[in-house]
Structure formats: structure tokens, C-alpha cells
Structure 1
């Protein structure tokens, strides 16, 4: 049993020889706090055998060794299940035992309200136990605007945990309490209290074991919450590709399909094609997981061809709404007052008239969905269906289309799905927020006389594909009737082909508005995070960020999105957004109204305000809107920029800016914050001019610090360039230091007015190396076949901020070299929430060839973070971690025992 160790520790393995490499110093429990750890085995002062290696009968067996570096600012919970298993842990169960975290820092941990055993593996060979540990304490020096996040991961087959995060300031005053929740959504809080030491308490209120990742981030730090592999869904056997050097007009679909070894091809926009492979191929298997893996391999092969500029799977997008339950509200439109609409309407007598708003969504409610017309009565008078010979307003592909004409057609009606809380009327709800008529029937839209143009891109369960979305945006961008494109959807990485379609629509003068996402993280969500898209976060009835709303790079501003968990405006009802809806019970379509929450509901408020502005100032375009937004003329400040961007949309201020007509020339930066670490010393910044035709001349450059250097393209007296490079000279900062400054670019616009762009810069080089610790690491040599079976296993502990490992008696062959923690003692490493290292790069393991002379000096890096989907070249599918040897596998073979002196 792996947990049955006393003064003598046993490590057993198949044909294993036991080799003592180092003995660690004693770790003692600090008593007197209670809480977690009280049910753990009684501790003593034990050493640890840090490595053991697989024996081999071959005389040709060799050694494999190397070093695993630990990512800067990384820490580990001092009483994980792996520590409790061998009775070697340090208690952190009260505030005076709190572990220190750096800012910006990350810590992995383990908690459980109960003890027990994990489900037995399918082969019946394994038993891994978990232990009770109900709370962990940490401390960190935090300032206003810094953020704290908690992400939780647990195994199937154990009781669902209820994690809780509490934060206390220097006066021991509780400044945040997440409460007990069974939701898997991350817990995220932005500090508002005074600067100083804060205590962070992570606890398990009930339920079984879980891994967690706790992050404290500086207010200007970029996205931090990437401790899980991104795994957006996509359609097996399909891809979206961009070709280079080929005349698409002269390339037929049949020729393109043949050229790229596909069954069929369809052009989405010039040079961008949707491919579908034949059913006879391996990916036609009924095993969706295998089919997706084969699809990714095919996409990578296509992408490697010289004639292909880009290739990606046909990703699936989702509507960005959350189901608040059955608490339907029909009348309380608190959202209108929150953004000052009643007053703004007085300054906007046209109420959006003659402004076309395309809602790219699930389509529109109709009482007769098989034919055009008979729209929701609150929308009927404003609907205009736009159709051309080449394209139609229903872009939903056959894969998830539920209407009577599967695939693209000329009818954007929502076919429903017969479910009581159908997500298919999502588009109707969004449309009502924008353009519900002022007709005394129900709700009133923001721009209640605007022209509503339904475009169907989402089908069953509110999902759609990348190919359909690109085609729809390309179409909408070319229609003269359309002025603004609302995208209450999202869910994949920064696909370049989608970005190109968005940029083309933006350059055609269309404003694109998108939901910032409902994941409660700071990870970018697309399309909202693209530079030419207005990303909208959500607030509740009091203007506070909704609990689910994303923050950071996806948020340009915020708008009412609702929050079913709050009554922030004190009207005795949950803060939901009321809008048009429908039912389709028994195939009978009845119009109605519903209360929903989500950034899907926030985005159409901004689209509607733009329609109000453009109706009074027809020459207004997307570039001018961005200029006004960056200049602070459209919003009111309600909080920090990380959560709220430029602030809460204010319809009165927006109308004032439109009527005054004084459009500023202003410079924006993408990214808006620069972060450097020991692995990146140079970054590129895209300088966006708003309006795009504005002339700007550089009049001054101030880096604030000598260690920050700007590339040669930025020159005083010359026009502002499109891009600049920014570099950090680490030698001028020194080792083991962090630093901050602001890059200021002063520029003069046509009017002679001088302005300044300020970009925060954060440098996190390294912390003291001996403080870094990602927990006990199991280092494995894994087979390269599909089973990924563990062939050799050693154990290493951090010394001086790194791990040293060595395998002895390795038989020559091909292996993957991987390492990671098993904080929850479930017998797997490299799961989401675990520290993980793969040679040579995490997420992209490559086989090593072990020859007659062995291998040494191998280097890899471990971290609780995961690479972005763009860095991986696509999602990582079918990956559940690497398997450790079980008790049975260890015990059924001869072992050697070695006693460790106390």
C-alpha cells in the first residue's frame, strides 16, 4: 500500500532496483490549528528516497539524466495528499502558518473534506487513497487592482467538492468570500482594499478530493488563468484553410478538394476554404475521440504544405449565455435605467432608424418557422431579411441544423428544438435587447426603430462552426444594409482566418460587437479579444461585474448582462435581463418573454447604443466609435480597467459625443499591457490609429527606465508606425528582481493637439531559485505507442529551485520523457491543475532516442500553467495525464528495502 509507510519507507517496482540518491531534511507539523491534516497519518522526521529506477537484464542498458527547471514564482501547498501519504508535510491550516506567495505567483494545492479511496482502475490493479485536509492558508502582499483566482479540478467517481475562497486584509477584516459552491467555474476576485498583507484561505466545505491552482496577479499582468489545457470542440473530418499564391476565382471547389486530398471544398471568403474529408477515412470511425485526434493530425499535415498559409479544425462556437433557472421575469427592464436610456432617447428621436443591425445568432422566433415572416410581435415591424444570389442569411451547416432545410438557405427563422428552456431562442432574446419595438406589447429595445437583420449561424444547443461564422461575417461585411454586427458568441482561440474576416468587415466600416465570455477568467475569448472587435463584459443591477463575466483582454467596456445570484438593485428580484423569447412545445410556436443572464445579453446593449448614435450621425463608422471609446466619451468609470475596461456604456454620454461630432484622433495599443519574464525579452505592439485614416506624428518617447528599449521604427518627427518592438535589457534590472514602468508615446494629430499613449510594462524575471517548488515530481519514461505506458519511474524533490533526475539501467529504445506532481494521489500526473513537464516543451512532447551511450544533460521545464491553444497549434484531445505504477504492480515483484535513519 502506497500509504503504509512508517520509519522505513518502501518503494517497489517491476524489476526495480532501489537506489538512494539523497536524503531530505525533516519537515515537522506545526500544531494547534486544527482543520485539515488532522486525519492524516501521524508524522515523524522521515527522509525521502528521491529516485528509483527500473532494472534491466540487458548488458547494454544505459542511464538517462537531466534537470527540470521550475517556472518562476511557483509554489506548492505544503500538505498535499502525496505529502500526507508518506507522513511528510508541513501544516498550513491557520493564518499563522500561512505560506507566502509572490506577486505575480502561482501555487498548486490539494484539499478534501473526507478520506477514502479512488475508484479502482478498469484493470482492477490499482488502489490510490485520498486524505482529509479541509483548509490551506496563504499570504501575499496585495494592492488595489491585483487579482486572486482559484481554479478547481476533481476526478469523476468521487463526491463533488464545494470549494471556498476567503480573503482577509491586514486588519483581519474579510474583504471577499466566494461562499460554498459546487460550480466548476473559477473563482475570481479583484482586490479593492488598501495595499498590504492579505491572508488567503482556501477550504473544502464538503465533498471529496480536488486539486486547485491559486494565482495572485499584479493588476497589470496579462492573462494568468491558463492552468488547464484548452479543449474547444470541433467537427471531426473538417478544416478551414487559407491558401496562398492561388487564384481562388480560377480554382473550382472540385479542384481545391482534389489538391488538398479532401472530399469536398467550399469557399468561405477569397482564399479561405472549408474542407470535408471522405467518410471512408479513419476519421469516419464511430469513436469521436479517435476521429478528433486523426482530424488534428490531418490539419497539421495540411498546414505544413507550402501553399497553405493557415489551417485549423472547424471549431464549434457557442452562444454566451447562462441558464439562470426558471425564474422568468417579464417586465422589469432595470438595464435601461442603468445606462441612462430614457434620457438618451430624448436626444435620439430617430431611435436607430435606418441603421441595420445584423444579429449573428440562432435566428429569429417565428410562429411559422418553415416560412418567412410572422416574427415575434415585439420585433415584427423592425425585421428585414437580406438575401443575395450568392449567399443567404441562414449559414448553419448540416451538422447541427434543425430546420426543415438542413444546410444553408434563405430563411433565418429559429426552428426551436422542443426543449422547455431551449437555447435556440437565444438570438430572439439578443434581438429584443437591440430592437424590440416601442409598441406597448412587452419590452422596448435600446434602438427600437433600428432595422433588425437576422443572420443564422448557431444551430442545435446554440452551437455553430468556424466555417459558418467566417462565411457569415464575410457576407455581412459586404452588405450595404448592415452597419453593426452583433456576435453574442465565442469559444475558441485566436484563429487567424476568423480575424481576417473580422478585419475586412471592420475596414468596410462595420462595427463588430462581441460577448466577452462567461467563464469568469482572464483568458482571452474570441472573437471579443480581437483588436477590431468591441468586447463587452457584463454587470449586475448595481453596475458591479457579474460573477461569471470574464475580465482582461476580452473586455473593452461593460454593459448590463444580469446576475441571477444577486439583487443588486434591491427590487426584490434577481438581476436578469428581460427580452423577447418563444416556446415550441409540441411543435406549436408561441411568442413570449424571458429573463436571462450572460455577456450575450451585455453585447447587444452596445450594438443598440451604436445604432442610436449612427441614426443621428450617419457618417459615424467603426473607427470613429473606437476613437470615442478610447477617449472616454462613451462610458462612465465604475471600477478598475482589468474588470471593466473603459467602463459602463452610458447612452447619454454616447449621444452627446455623436451629436457634438467632434471625433478625436487617438492611438491604441494591442496588447494594451506588456509582460516580460525570463523566457521572453522582446514583444511586438500593434499601434492602432482611430480613425484609421488619422495622421499622427511621433513627438516624444519615454520608457521611464533605462532597461526598457524601443525598436528603431519609432522615431520622433516621423509618422506613427503600425508596429513597434519593445525589448527588456535584463542586465540593467539585475537578477531576482521584478520591475514596472510605463511606455509613453507622445504624438501630434492633424489639429496640432498633442496626446499620449501609455502602455504599462511589467517585468517578472526570476524569484530566488531556492524558493521555487512545484512539489514532489514523478519523472517517467513513457512508451511512444498509443498506450503511453510508463516504462521507468523515478521520484525527485526540488533542490535549489530545480529537480535533478537520473534513470539507471534503461534499455535502448524510444521514449517520451515527462514529469509532474500527483498532488491528489490518484495515480496520474500532468492532469489539469497539476504541475507538468514534457520534453522538450510542455504540450508538444517529442520522443527521445536512448542509444548505447545513454543520454545526459536533458533539460525541461515544469509549471502549473498550460500552453495556449495557439502555441500548441490546436487543442489537445484525448489527454488525461500519465499513469503511475499502482500498488499491485509494485508489490507483485521482488523488492529491496532500505531503511532511512531518523
Structure 2
């Protein structure tokens, strides 16, 4: 077994440019990766006003659909034809921390028709001997973020907890296609009941959370919502056997939310036999699980790379099937819940352990396969139930008394600033960060609870001259770390930022009715003072606010093609324009 190292450093920071983070390439390039049409995911900066955010969305013809609680990521609806335009515009807006498409992940199960009458993987991971120490506890549920679970399956139904369905927005968690039932059985099928199969975690309950549809696809926003939902209900072990090719700050925020609240998110590494990262598995603080076969080799399909955490059996796993039956299935979709089942057993045996300690026990108790030590095929090794439970039995949970290490990384010490300034902090902690608070001249500005830790400070609210900035981080045990102080010089800013303006009606290329309402909205870092409407170059109306609505009697027009333009001005005279072409 590997040597146990307890003081694992957890870095809750990102290397980033200090504007808004624009995730993914151009929308056309992202199309091949898969995303939800007509939707974006955005997170406003801490300190940004709700009114400014609302105005920025309205100016682009966008509207909020929902906010994912806990991580404060908004799912917004945007005109499909203008998705790239809106994404770029919001990315330039200082109120937002990131803007990204609502990418789609896929279930990671490989069809396998080979009939195995026994579960080879349980002896291979030394589960029968481990069960002499514990068979689990109903106090440690496992959340299965998937397609649901068959509530009538004899090896699953009696241990299902209430969950939620993000596809139908209700509590019906019946499996829509079978993937989730197979995953749940591998983790925690009812065992020692003289029927069916054995799960890794006999006694642990299952919380089914439905995000994967009948086409085997799940949006990142729903995956993130399910992770947060489970954490908020006290679940410490979460399994996500879904993977996508696109990095996402939304998923990172959800995984960090779980980590910082003492939960572990086990994720399938995916089945492409590549070292390309797949998400959420490759995210910091996620547990990426690769698959092994009956000979303790990397499964032929399993992904690999320096982002793999551990490995578990995933080939020809005999498990529960939708409809009450059993069968062999393969994929990292099964390796991940097998590892998650061991995580639940560790906590069942020693519930006082922290999530950091449970993860270290998983890694240290594993059997070292492949190259000595960590390697990209198996991570820290293939799990060993007895090995990890033997460690868990002996460990006395540590009391966390170590404060976080926090550094204010932007703006630079001695720099000159003006207007809206993005404060950025990087934090290191061995357990998890609860929040980061930002201060100017010793006065608290506000806080951020999700990575990357940022705050939007309006420097125009203090007099010109030198001012002190610092940050302090509070970890999940209440320990406080304080950053160094930096000095910045606040200048009286000249407003050089133009407003953003968008025409919401009519749509570009539209055929006009006999009469039509022209509607537009604008936003600005200081404020919009005037909007002007032009049709074919002629001024039609002026409005001294950030919205414009004008009734256009189009049946009186002789032309058949019209160029509609709306200009927006701020008090400093900065202006911008949106123009569309419509037809009669």
C-alpha cells in the first residue's frame, strides 16, 4: 500500500486574466462538443449590483431562467441567433465573473452483452474481507447524479431516498433509460438478501438525482444543480457517471461547493481511451475514476492521464438493470460508483473523518498497479476495500487548527486604479474554504464564496489618493487567514466605457406587421442618459432612460427594406449603437 500523507495541499485558486472569463471557443466550434441552444451560464461578481446585472441582461435581450443556489450561477435564455454576440458582450461587462455555454455531458456506460454469473470485481478489490469491518451505514447516503433509479427493483427499491428530477422539475426519480439503475447497483445494491447481486456498500442508502435524459445527455447546469442539491441535504458521497469534453466554471463551482462543505464527488473518467481531460472528472477537487479489467489492466476504453485520481473495476460488471433484472455492463460509469461505494464504507466505519482524510485513505489503501507510485493509467492505484477500511479503523480524525493561506493577487501593489476594480484572491487550505472577505482601509467590502475568489469594488466611492486593500479567508473549521496589505492609488476616473445596447424587437431579418413595437434596452457602468431611434437614417424618437419603446406604423411606409438603429449615450458622451435590417 502507498504511504499515507495527511497534509495534502488544496489550492482554491485559478490562473486567470482579470477580466470576465469567456469559456469555450467560438460557438460554432463548441457546437461539435454539444451545448444547450439558446442558453448561457453566467456568474456575477461579488459586489456587482442586482440592478446592473439585470440591466446588462436586458440590454442583450437575455432573461434569467433560474439561479443555481449555493454557487450563484445563473442560467439565462438568449436569442438563439445571437448567442455568440450576447456571450461576447456579457464577457466584456465588468459585472460578470464568467460567461459560458451550457455544455452537455454524456453517460459513460459501454454496452456489454457478455453473461457473467458472478461479480468478479468484488473479490478483486478485497471487498469480502473488508465487509468484516463494516458493510456500511444508512446514515451515509450516496447521491447518484444520473438518469434515475428503478424504484421497483428488488435490490434497490427499499433503500431509495427522496430525490429530484431536473428534466421534469418534480420528485419523480424513476429511471428514464437504465443508466442510473446500473450505476446505483454497482455502488450499493441491497446485499445478503438471498437474491440478485451484492453492492459495495450494503447498508448505505441511495439518493437518485435525475439529470441524464433518454438520449443519454445531461446539461452542465443540471449536473451542477444536482451536486449542490445533494450537498445541501447533507450527502457526503456523490457519484457523477457523466462526462463532457468542455471545461466549465459552473461545474468547477459545484465541485468546489461540495469539497468546501466536506463532500466528495466521484466522477467517471469516460470511455475514449485518451488522455484528453473530461469533465467534471478532470476538475480540481473531483475524484476521477479510471476503469480496470479482470486482469488488473487498464480497461481498453478507459481514459487516462495525470488528472486520474484512482482506478476501480469497470469491465463486465454484473449489476442491476432497469425492469428488475441483472446483467453485465462495462464502462467508467461503473468504476466510479464502485469507488464511491468504498468512500461510503470508509465514512460508515469512521464518520468523524474529514473528506480530505477519506480521500487520502482511498489513495493510500489502493493496490499500486502499473508504474511505481502515481501513474496516468491508474492514478494512485486500484481501490482495495480491506486496505482502506483497515486504515480508516485506525485513524483518529484530526482537528483542523491550520488557517488558510491567502494572497491578494490583483490589483498589483502600488498600481493606479479607477472605476470598477476587480479584486482577486488566491487561497490554499487543507480542508476547504468557506468564504473570502475583502477589505479597503480596514472596512469590509463584501465576500465571495466560490472559486475564483473575486470582488467588484467601485473605487469611485473613495477619495482620490492611496488606499489599503487586503483579504481574509475563513475555512470550513472557522480558522481565519489574513493576506498581506497592498496599496493602490485611486485616480479620479474619466468615464471611457460606452453603454451596451441591444434591440429586442423586432428580430433581425423579421417581416414586419402592419404596426410594430420597436423595443431596446441599454446598460452602462455609470448610467445611460439618452437613447435614440433611427429608421433608415432618420431620427424617430428620443428617450432619456435606459429603455426605449416606440410604436411604428409600418403600414404607412413606402419602403420594403429598413435599417433600424438604436444609439445609447452615457453622461460622459460615450455612445454605442445596435443596428438590424427588417423587411415589409
Normalising to structure 1: TM-score of the pair? 0.40
Q: Which of 172, 180, 194 is the aligned partner of 1:440? A: 194
Q: Which of 309, 333, 344 is the aligned partner of 2:119? A: 333
Corresponding position: 1:268 with 2:68? yes
Structure 1 contact 256–265 (Cα < 8 Å) conserved: no
Aligned pairs, how many? 377
Structure 1 contact 665–690 (Cα < 8 Å) conserved: no
Q: Which of 132, 138, 143 is the aligned partner of 1:353? A: 138
Q: 1:252 to 1:613 in 2, by over 3 A?
A: farther
Q: Distance in 2 between matches of 1:689 and 1:321?
A: 35
Q: Which of 503, 517, 536 is the aligned partner of 2:289? A: 536
Larger radius of gyration: 1
1:699-714, aligned counterparts within 5 Å? none
> What do residues 7-57 of structure 1 show as CA deviations (whole Å, max 9, x unaligned)?
xxxxxxxxxxxxxxxxxxxxxxxxxxxxxxxxxxxxxxxxxxxxxxxxxxx
> What do residues 822-876 of structure 1 show as CA deviations (whole Å, max 9, x unaligned)?
xxxxxxxxxxxxxxxxxxxxxxxxxxxxxxxxxxxxxxxxxxxxxxxxxxxxxxx
2:15 equivalent in structure 1: none
Shift of 1:246: 5.5
1:10-409, aligned counterparts within 5 Å? 231-245=32-46, 258=58, 260-269=60-69, 270-277=71-78, 281=79, 283=80, 294-324=82-112, 326-327=113-114, 329=115, 331-348=117-134, 350-366=135-151, 375-386=152-163, 393-396=164-167, 407-409=168-170
Q: Distance in 2 between matches of 1:376 and 1:434?
A: 15
Q: Distance in 2 between matches of 1:656 and 1:331?
A: 29
Corresponding position: 1:604 with 2:341? no
Q: 1:256 to 1:377 in 2, by over 3 A?
A: farther
Q: Distance in 2 between matches of 1:272 and 1:646?
A: 33
Shift of 1:364: 0.9
SS at match of 1:655: helix
> What do residues 516-540 of structure 1 show as CA deviations (whole Å, max 9, x unaligned)?
1111111111111112111100000
1:645-660, aligned counterparts within 5 Å? 645-660=379-394
Q: Distance in 2 between matches of 1:600 and 1:251?
A: 43
Q: 1:323 to 1:252 in 2, by over 3 A?
A: farther
SS at match of 1:347: coil
1:505 equivalent in structure 2: 258
Corresponding position: 1:638 with 2:369? yes
Q: 1:312 to 1:593 in 2, by over 3 A?
A: same
Corresponding position: 1:577 with 2:317? yes
RMSD over aligned CA atoms reads 2.8
> What do residues 760-793 of structure 1 show as CA deviations (whole Å, max 9, x unaligned)?
xxxxxxxxxxxxxxxxxxxxxxxxxxxxxxxxxx
SS at match of 2:131: helix
Q: Which of 171, 175, 180 is the aligned partner of 1:427? A: 180
Q: Distance in 1 between matches of 2:397 and 2:303?
A: 30
Shift of 1:497: 2.0
Q: Which runs of 5 or more structure 2 residues have no equivalent in the other structure?
A: 1-28, 403-425, 434-450, 453-584
> What do residues 41-94 of structure 1 show as CA deviations (whole Å, max 9, x unaligned)?
xxxxxxxxxxxxxxxxxxxxxxxxxxxxxxxxxxxxxxxxxxxxxxxxxxxxxx
Structure 2 contact 159–205 (Cα < 8 Å) conserved: yes
SS at match of 1:331: coil
SS at match of 2:75: strand
Corresponding position: 1:623 with 2:356? yes
Q: Distance in 2 between matches of 1:544 and 1:665?
A: 39
Structure 1 contact 520–551 (Cα < 8 Å) conserved: yes
SS at match of 1:526: coil
SS at match of 2:165: coil
Shift of 1:245: 4.2
Q: Distance in 2 between matches of 1:474 and 1:296?
A: 28
Structure 2 contact 150–156 (Cα < 8 Å) conserved: no
1:414 equivalent in structure 2: 175
> What do residues 134-173 of structure 1 show as CA deviations (whole Å, max 9, x unaligned)?
xxxxxxxxxxxxxxxxxxxxxxxxxxxxxxxxxxxxxxxx
Q: Distance in 2 between matches of 1:262 and 1:660?
A: 55
Structure 1 contact 239–275 (Cα < 8 Å) conserved: yes
1:478-497, aligned counterparts within 5 Å? 478-480=232-234, 482-497=235-250
Structure 1 contact 524–553 (Cα < 8 Å) conserved: no
Higher relative contact order (CA closer than 8 Å, sequence separation 6+) = 1
1:639-718, aligned counterparts within 5 Å? 639-640=370-371, 641-662=375-396, 690-692=430-432
SS at match of 2:387: helix
Shift of 1:256: 7.8
2:210 equivalent in structure 1: 456
Q: Distance in 1 between matches of 2:55 and 2:327?
A: 49
Shift of 1:647: 0.5
Structure 1 contact 665–691 (Cα < 8 Å) conserved: no
Q: 1:537 to 1:474 in 2, by over 3 A?
A: same
> What do residues 535-579 of structure 1 show as CA deviations (whole Å, max 9, x unaligned)?
1000001110001111113311100000xxxxxxxxxxxxx0111
Q: 1:660 to 1:691 in 2, by over 3 A?
A: farther
> What do residues 258-308 of structure 1 show as CA deviations (whole Å, max 9, x unaligned)?
36521442111353100112xxx4x3xxxxxxx5xx533432222221111
> What do residues 313-370 of structure 1 show as CA deviations (whole Å, max 9, x unaligned)?
111111111223x33x36320010110001000111x42332110000000114xxxx
SS at match of 2:266: strand
SS at match of 1:552: coil
Structure 1 contact 526–554 (Cα < 8 Å) conserved: no
SS at match of 2:321: strand
1:788-867, aligned counterparts within 5 Å? none
Structure 2 contact 361–392 (Cα < 8 Å) conserved: no
Structure 1 contact 536–602 (Cα < 8 Å) conserved: yes
1:721-740, aligned counterparts within 5 Å? none
Q: Distance in 2 between matches of 1:627 and 1:691?
A: 12
Shift of 1:493: 2.3
Q: 1:243 to 1:691 in 2, by over 3 A?
A: closer
Structure 1 contact 538–559 (Cα < 8 Å) conserved: yes
Structure 2 contact 269–290 (Cα < 8 Å) conserved: yes
Q: Distance in 2 between matches of 1:381 and 1:690?
A: 38
SS at match of 2:100: strand
Structure 2 contact 103–246 (Cα < 8 Å) conserved: no
Shift of 1:255: 7.1
Q: Distance in 1 between matches of 2:256 and 2:202?
A: 28
SS at match of 1:643: coil
Structure 1 contact 516–554 (Cα < 8 Å) conserved: no
1:741-752, aligned counterparts within 5 Å? none
Q: Distance in 1 between matches of 2:355 and 2:55?
A: 38
Structure 2 contact 346–358 (Cα < 8 Å) conserved: no
Q: Which runs of 5 or more structure 1 residues have no equivalent in the other structure?
A: 1-228, 284-290, 367-374, 387-392, 397-406, 416-423, 563-575, 583-589, 668-685, 694-721, 724-902
Q: Distance in 2 between matches of 1:606 and 1:688?
A: 27
Q: Distance in 2 between matches of 1:316 and 1:301?
A: 23
